[in-house]
A and B are shown apart, each in its own frame.
Chain A
Amino acid sequence: MSSPNGSVPASNRRLETFTYDDQIVKWFVIATVIWGAVALLLGVTVAFQLADWRVNLGLPWTTFGRLRPLHTNAAIFAFCGNAIFAGIYYSHQRLLKARLFNDVLSRVHFWGWQFIIILAAITLPLGMTTGKEYAELEWPIDILITLIWVVFAVNFFGTIVRRRERHIYVAIWFYIATIITVAVLHIVNSVELPVTLTKSYSLYSGVQDALVQWWYGHNAVAFFLTTPFLGLMYYFVPKAANRPVYSYRLSIIHFWSLVFIYIWAGPHHLLYTTLPEWAQTLGMVFSVALWMPSWGGMINGLMTLRGVWDKVRTEPGLRFMATSLTFYGMSTFEGPLLSIKSVNSIAHFTDWIPGHVHSGTIGWNYMLIAGILFYLVPKLWNTELYSKRLANIQFWLATIGLLFYVISMLVAGITQSLMWRAMDDAGRLIYPNFIETVIKIVPMYWVRAIGGTLVLISFILMIINLYRTAKKGKSGPEAVYEAYALDDYSLEAGAAAHRKLEGWPMIFAVLSLIAILVGSAIEIVPSLMSDNYITKISAIKPYSPLELYGRDVYIREGCYLCHSQTVRAIPHEVIRYGKASEAAEFVYDHPFQWGSKRTGPDLARVGKKYPHMWHYKHFYDPREVTAGSIMPNYKWLFDKKIDYSTLPKKMAVMKQLGVPYTDEEVVTSVVNAKAQAVEIAGELAQSGVPQKIVEMEVVALISYMQRLGVDYTSMPEEEAPIAEAEVK
């Protein structure tokens, strides 16, 4: 932007020449398409696994529970992450008229991020997981993520310091908010105590852990999949349309409202749980309030296209951008709707939620990334797009595939939820067997898998198109640009307060940090005050050593991805599962395992519901005891021996975290675990199971399953806390 101070003669200003580092942008573009294909391939694989359990292949590392976290991490952090970095590095340089701060940092950032992705791709299928959704990576990788994020931040802010443009354009504000908030979220949620190099326990437990996790989980969507993409939208949509943004003023309102409000919405993932009611209500109210800034942003983006709608028909990049904004509008309408408690009671734990999530990640993120790539690749490789026709086919395949996905999951979710709650006149469940509600929606799983396949094919077409484009391009000499140095001449006399603020990046960053910390601090209050509102129940005891081991197997196999462990205080749930869950039940759960989806039934009250033999058969082949089950076999648990040597360390770490194990219990953990294993194996032997099973992991898992909810359901009524008494 030229100086508004028109009276200053150009001869008094220092003209500087510089180049852009587009090589790093190219690398991130290439990484985006590679990891995007991997993420979608994994998504299609897990979709087919839900439609037909045999697609799990019977191998530990190809089973749904291990591949699903890999799919989500690949989609969010590998595909979207690389796209964010490509888009930010391209636009940041041009908006500031400056080369990236340091070429070495750029390369460390690139290779460091790819190394993290590769580590995730190795560790997650091996079952190395923290058991917290979207934050599954273990502690050494968490530290590496922090370091690489700092490298990114230094490179980003260093470029701002060296800029030649006084005003910091709105896209960069969104980038600043992203960098700061993701750092806060990642660090706070990843505080854990290591047991080994590949195993750790969360510092938080039960309700605390649930709140911190979903504060993180929701804002991973907000500040990894939304704010950076809004920043990219504010740069690339005007560029592609060759028009300024519809309303710069609206973008300012959009930014501050979104950054302030978004951070509060996390508790809508925990409605009707044992989270304090006030925190739930707060989460719901702020989620509904999100409608305003979200739609403000969408309208601003779409209205930028006014006057160029004819180009939307002919230019694939613009078409993808317009569609992405439309899906952004739809998913940000659906999100607040799902946060309303009465709607949430129907939708939560059902397939409606993955449907909603994918309308965002495919409709908003993938479509916008495609639009950006169709803009970027021809620019970076100095050529024209290889084929508009191919891009159009890609567009329709992606759109139709996404509609298949979203509609099938909406139908599946509502169908299943209505079946869960259906009761006859006598107050009995019409579908008391959970499996009935699963079998009913399996056809929808097939539709979803077909929809996902169409999206994958569309992505492959994009790769072909972009590859051909780059291949015919020329990597000519690096262009040299010139712009005036950032000097006092660019200062605006009499500028308003917010206008001045827009030229002070560090103060701006601090204010953004405060904006997100206000909501975060208030949301974290329930965690800090948990001793005040959770009345400990003496009947709730810590897990035995074998049960603790079994719990780690449960986490390793990703059981929480299909089974919840919290009974909501809703009549049909209490009738189906048993007493509603209490906060005090989870005080020793590091991490909590409430889950977010019920592909299978809730397990909070499964302890002692079935004999050991039932579980034994169920893990070997679920269809032996539940006809029509879509759960995979877990036959390797019958061959893999329990590693008792890790137990004293696990117990000691739990003790450090506040679980009241005595020193003696830690020392005798191996002996006690073996004794309990012998007891379980003895009962199994009566049904003809060979005695060697006593050494196998399935016994530990059975011990954990048999413990779930037992302390609480078996205690006398008078010991149960009264709801009102729980809150002081």
Chain B
Amino acid sequence: MKQAALSHFDLPWLPITALIIFVVCFAAYLYWTFKKDNKANYEQASQIPLEEAKSVSSIKKGHTV
């Protein structure tokens, strides 16, 4: 079955192109992401869900700010 699969594999440039694109992109964002000088930024970003906007007052339904 493996041989049969390989014998029908007549468009090798397609997956190879995709593989190259993937590896290049993967390497690029791995580099950007794990660059040391980005650490503080990402730690800050991870806090976003925990930082609620400050509640200052409340208004009755139907009124807009």
Interface residues of A (CB under 8 A from B): 1-2, 4, 17-19, 91, 94-95, 97, 164-165, 167, 169-171, 234-235, 238-239, 242-245, 248-249, 252-253, 256-257, 260-261, 264, 276-278, 280-282, 285, 341, 475-483, 492, 495-499, 502, 515, 518-519, 522, 525, 723-724, 727-728
Contacts and interface: CB of A to CB of B under 8 A. Distances in A.
Contacts of B30: 253
Nearest to B63: A478
Contacts of B47: 1, 244
A277 B64 contact: no
B61 A479 contact: no
B41 A495 contact: yes
Given A17-B56, A477-B58, A480-B56, 19 more contacts: A1-B48, A18-B53, A95-B48, A167-B44, A170-B45, A171-B49, A242-B50, A248-B43, A248-B46, A256-B25, A260-B25, A277-B4, A278-B10, A479-B58, A480-B58, A495-B41, A498-B32, A499-B32, A522-B17
A478 B38 contact: no
B15 A282 contact: yes
Contact of B50 (A239, A280, A475, A525): A239
Interface in B6-50: 7-12, 14-15, 17-18, 21-22, 25-26, 29-30, 32-35, 37-38, 40-50
A256 B52 contact: no
Nearest to A475: B61
B29 A496 contact: no
A617 B46 CA distance: 65
20 contacts: A1-B45, A18-B53, A167-B45, A238-B50, A242-B50, A244-B50, A245-B49, A248-B46, A256-B26, A277-B8, A278-B9, A477-B59, A478-B63, A480-B57, A480-B58, A481-B53, A481-B55, A499-B38, A522-B14, A525-B14
Nearest to B53: A481
Given A19-B59, A167-B48, A724-B7, A482 B53 contact: yes
A480 B59 CA distance: 7
In the complex, the 5 A-B pairs of residues with the closest C-beta atoms, listed nearest first: A277-B8, A481-B53, A477-B58, A498-B32, A244-B46
A230 to B, nearest CB: 14
A97 B53 contact: yes
Given A522-B14, A728-B10, A481 B54 contact: yes
Contacts of A165: 48
Contact of B65 (A17, A245, A276, A281): A17
Contact of B33 (A97, A243, A276, A498): A498
Contacts of B25: 256, 260, 515
A17 to B, nearest CB: 5
B46 A19 contact: no
Interface of B: 1, 4-5, 7-12, 14-15, 17-18, 21-22, 25-26, 29-30, 32-35, 37-38, 40-61, 63-65
Contacts of B33: 249, 252-253, 498
B6 to A, nearest CB: 8
A234 B21 CA distance: 27
A492 B41 contact: yes
Contacts of A245: 46, 49
A114 B18 CA distance: 40
A216 B15 CA distance: 20
Contacts of A728: 10
Nearest to B17: A522
Nearest to B12: A278
Residue with the highest number of chain A CB atoms closer than 10 Å, among B10, B41, B46, B63: B46
B50 to A, nearest CB: 6
Contact of B45 (A169, A278, A522): A169
B43 to A, nearest CB: 7
A278 B21 CA distance: 19
B55 A480 contact: yes
Nearest to A264: B18
Contact of B5 (A253, A281, A522): A281
A1 to B, nearest CB: 5
Nearest to A19: B65
A267 B30 CA distance: 28
Nearest to A499: B41
B32 A497 contact: yes
Nearest to A169: B48
Contacts of A253: 29-30, 33
A499 B7 CA distance: 45
B10 to A, nearest CB: 5
Contacts of B41: 4, 492, 495-496, 499
A91 B49 CA distance: 8
Contacts of A496: 32, 35, 37-38, 41
B46 A278 contact: no
Contact of A94 (B17, B21, B29, B49): B49
A239 B52 CA distance: 10
